[in-house]
């Protein structure tokens, strides 16, 4: 029987939306978030703060170096069970969809289902905390991931994006391939993977987010059966590498078999607030700004389309976390270098003139509408719940944060971010196209 007194449970409510969720500090150290939603499906995600950017860390003062690609490799191998039946098989037998992903910051495992929620959540919590590796299974996985790495190398959109990061950053590990390299993953052994599990896949380093027609009591009962407090406490810290202003390379070019030139233009931002609320506020202000300047309804976009410098499908957005921040523009262009000049000239014109306040008000309404629409999907709720939890921000505080953004905030963010000296243009040109050469 679950002892609810062992867990610190806090309820969050949004009176206008008539929504609520619960934060549970499980006695194991695991943070559990439950968002009851009377819909037909369930969605659950558990994440560990162990991502592709981790190449070394300190454990109780001891420095531990890892081959590049460990977090992603471990993501694959945790689906193996000692009885030979993989976690995928268990979810499939329950009629559930399961998946996992590794970012630079974290690794996450998830499932969605309409039935058999208890069995699915039990399996999710069990396989991520009960690793099983053998020399043979690790060796086999090296070959599988090597194929994945080669596939990424052949993907022009992936190459364009990674070349942009490599051009922008001097020291930040975000520029490294999350999958690693064929050489680095060949160094991974069961001992290395077990060490990573012991140090990072600990309840106090993980977050569980659940959305669906469930109660916190039901989730807690399953969690109590599967997650236990570790007997050994560890002090884990990942070093943050100093990243200077400016970019390593302003232009990165590559030829690949594409029908039309593709590009990723990044504007590096090193002004990252340490306070998570301020970081979230900057993120929203910057994305409002991107819409004000580069949305499909803006004159700049329409002019570039008319002149043939852009194709439909152009995208512009801002991304920020604790260690990295940048604006990224991506799409297709027959003349990406000419487009870069148009973008930089446009930024300078905006710097000399006043930003459009009506565009600000429109994009702020768009952002609020997107936030409200997220509450119609258990998947969107679960992902939002996890994201806000990782940043230690109440999910319902977003509306207040968004409301607090003023036109002056957007102008200040423009001055902070849109520095034309911090631009990297990554281009993938068709193999038989010699245009755009210097």
Q: How many Å apart are CA 434 and CA 255, to the nearest integer?
A: 10
What tokens appear for 21 in the block?
A: 């969720």
At residue 82, the 3 state secondary structure works out as: coil
In a shared domain, residues 63 and 122: yes
In a shared domain, residues 315 and 401: yes
For the chain, the domain total comes to: 2
| Phi, psi dihedral angles at 65 (to 5 degrees) | -100, 140
Residue 225 lies in a domain: yes
pLDDT attached to residue 436: 47
Residue 1 lies in a domain: no
In a shared domain, residues 203 and 129: yes
Helix orientation angle between 190-200 and 135-153, rounded to the nearest 10 degrees = 80
Residue 227 lies in a domain: yes
Given 197, 213, 237, which residue is the final one in a domain? 237
| pTM over cut 0.85 | yes
In a shared domain, residues 225 and 111: yes
Helix orientation angle between 299-306 and 336-352, rounded to the nearest 10 degrees = 150
CATH number, domain containing residue 195? 3.30.830.10
Q: How many CB atoms lie within 10 A of CB 364?
A: 21
In a shared domain, residues 135 and 193: yes
8 A C-beta contact, residue 269 and residue 326: yes
In a shared domain, residues 204 and 264: no
Residue 43 lies in a domain: yes
Place of tokens 């281009």: 427
415, 159, 53, 195 alpha-carbon torsion, rounded to 10°: 170
Task: List the one residue out of 275, 53, 78, 67 whose CA is nearest residue 175.
Answer: 53
Residue 244 lies in a domain: no
Range of the domain at 143: 7-237
438 residues of the chain, pLDDT tens digit each = 445 555 689 999 998 889 999 999 999 999 999 999 999 899 999 999 999 999 999 999 999 999 999 999 999 999 998 887 889 999 999 999 999 999 999 999 999 999 999 999 999 999 999 999 999 999 999 999 999 999 999 999 999 999 999 999 999 999 999 999 999 999 999 999 999 999 999 999 999 999 999 999 999 999 999 999 988 889 999 998 899 999 999 999 999 999 999 999 999 999 999 999 999 999 999 999 999 999 998 999 999 999 999 999 899 999 999 999 999 999 999 999 999 999 999 999 999 998 999 999 999 999 999 999 999 999 999 999 999 999 999 999 999 999 999 999 999 999 999 999 999 999 999 997 554 444
In a shared domain, residues 378 and 273: yes
In a shared domain, residues 208 and 77: yes
pLDDT attached to residue 192: 98
pLDDT attached to residue 7: 66
Residue-level length of the chain: 438
Q: How many Å apart are CA 373 and CA 116, to the nearest integer?
A: 27
DSSP letters, 380-406, are HHHHHHHHHHHTT--GGGHHHHHHH--
Residue 396 lies in a domain: yes
pLDDT attached to residue 4: 53
In a shared domain, residues 341 and 228: no
Report how far apart, in Å, the C-alpha atoms of 306 and of each of 301, 310, 334 are.
9, 8, 13
In a shared domain, residues 92 and 197: yes
Largest CA distance in the chain: 72
User: What order do you get walking across the sheet with 325-332 strand by strand?
Assistant: 251-256, 423-430, 262-268, 325-332, 315-320
In a shared domain, residues 270 and 224: no
In a shared domain, residues 124 and 156: yes
Residue 246 lies in a domain: no
Task: List the one residue out of 396, 53, 75, 45 whose CA is nearest residue 207.
Answer: 45
Given 237, 269, 298, which residue is the final one in a domain? 237
What tokens appear for 293 in the block?
A: 């300047």
Given 237, 268, 301, which residue is the final one in a domain? 237
Q: How many Å apart are CA 211 and CA 248, to the nearest integer?
A: 43
Residue 297 lies in a domain: yes
């Amino acid at each position: 029987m679950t002892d609810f007194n062992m867990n610190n449970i806090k309820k969050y409510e949004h009176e206008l939306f008539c929504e609520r969720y619960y934060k549970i500090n499980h006695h194991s150290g695991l943070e559990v978030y439950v968002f009851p939603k009377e819909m037909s499906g369930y969605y659950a995600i558990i994440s560990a703060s162990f991502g592709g950017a981790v190449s070394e860390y300190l454990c109780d003062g001891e420095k531990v170096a890892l081959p590049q690609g460990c977090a992603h490799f471990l993501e694959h191998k945790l689906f193996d069970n000692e009885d030979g039946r993989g976690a995928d098989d268990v979810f499939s037998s329950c009629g559930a969809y399961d998946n996992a992903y590794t970012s630079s910051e974290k690794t996450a495992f998830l499932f969605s289902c309409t039935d058999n929620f208890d069995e699915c959540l039990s399996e999710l919590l069990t396989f991520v905390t009960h690793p099983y590796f053998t020399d043979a299974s690790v060796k086999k996985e090296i070959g599988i991931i090597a194929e994945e790495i080669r596939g990424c190398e052949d993907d022009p959109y992936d190459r364009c994006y990674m070349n942009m990061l490599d051009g922008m950053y001097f020291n930040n590990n975000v520029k490294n391939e999350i999958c690693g390299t064929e050489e680095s993953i060949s160094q991974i052994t069961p001992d290395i993977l077990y060490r990573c599990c012991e140090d990072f896949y600990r309840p106090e380093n993980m977050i569980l987010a659940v959305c669906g027609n469930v109660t916190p009591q039901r989730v807690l009962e399953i969690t109590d059966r599967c997650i236990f407090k570790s007997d050994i406490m560890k002090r884990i810290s990942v070093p943050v590498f100093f990243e200077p202003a400016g970019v390593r390379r302003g232009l990165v070019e590559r030829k690949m078999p594409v029908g039309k030139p593709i590009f990723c233009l990044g504007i590096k931002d090193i002004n990252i607030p340490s306070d998570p609320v301020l970081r979230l506020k900057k993120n929203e202000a910057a994305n409002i700004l991107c819409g004000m300047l580069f949305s499909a309804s803006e004159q700049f976009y329409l002019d570039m389309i008319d002149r043939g410098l852009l194709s439909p499908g152009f995208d512009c957005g801002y991304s920020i976390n604790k260690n990295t921040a940048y604006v990224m523009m991506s799409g297709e262009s027959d003349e990406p270098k000419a487009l870069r000049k148009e973008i930089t000239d446009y930024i300078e014109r905006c710097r000399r003139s006043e930003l459009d306040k009506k565009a600000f008000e429109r994009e702020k309404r768009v952002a609020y509408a997107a936030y409200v629409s997220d509450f119609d999907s258990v998947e969107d709720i679960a992902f939002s719940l996890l994201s806000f939890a990782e940043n230690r921000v109440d999910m319902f505080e977003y509306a207040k944060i968004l409301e607090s953004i003023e036109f002056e905030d957007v102008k200040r963010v423009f001055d902070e971010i849109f520095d034309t000296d911090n631009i990297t243009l990554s281009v993938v040109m068709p193999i038989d196209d010699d245009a755009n050469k210097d």
